[in-house]
Amino acid sequence: MKLACVVHRFGADIAGGSESHCRLVAEHLAADHDVTILTTCAKDHVTWQNTYPAGVSQAGPLRVQRFPVDRPRSLHRFAEISEIVLSGRASPAEQERWFVENGPRASDLVEYLRQHGAEYDRILFWAYRYYPTFFGLPLVADRALLVPTAEEDPLIRLPILARFFALPRGYIFLTPEEAELIARRAGGPLAPSCIVGSGLDPALPTSGSPPAVAGESILLYLGRIDPNKGCETLLRYFIRYQERGGAPAPLVMAGPANMEIPDHPLIERLGLVDHAAREALLSRASVLMVPSPFESLSLVLLEAWNYGVPALVNGRCSVL
Burial of 129 (0-12, 13-18, 19+ CB in 10 A): buried
pTM of the model: 0.80
Domains with residue ranges and CATH for the chain = 2-195 (3.40.50.11930), 219-313 (3.40.50.2000)
Give the residue from 169, 63, 158 showing the smallest Cα distance to 102.
Answer: 158
Say what the pLDDT of residue 224 is: 86
> What are 89-142's pLDDT values in tens digits?
899 999 999 999 999 999 999 999 999 999 999 999 999 999 999 999 999 999
Say what the pLDDT of residue 58 is: 95
Start-end of H helices in 64-205:
75-85, 92-102, 107-116, 131-136, 160-164, 176-185
> What are 256-291's pLDDT values in tens digits?
888 899 999 999 998 888 878 888 888 888 999 999
Residues of the chain with pLDDT under 70: 204-216
Long-range CB contacts (within 8 A, 24+) of 23-29? 24/198, 24/199, 25/124, 25/147, 25/196, 26/62, 27/60, 27/61, 27/62, 28/199, 29/3, 29/5
Say what the pLDDT of residue 212 is: 58
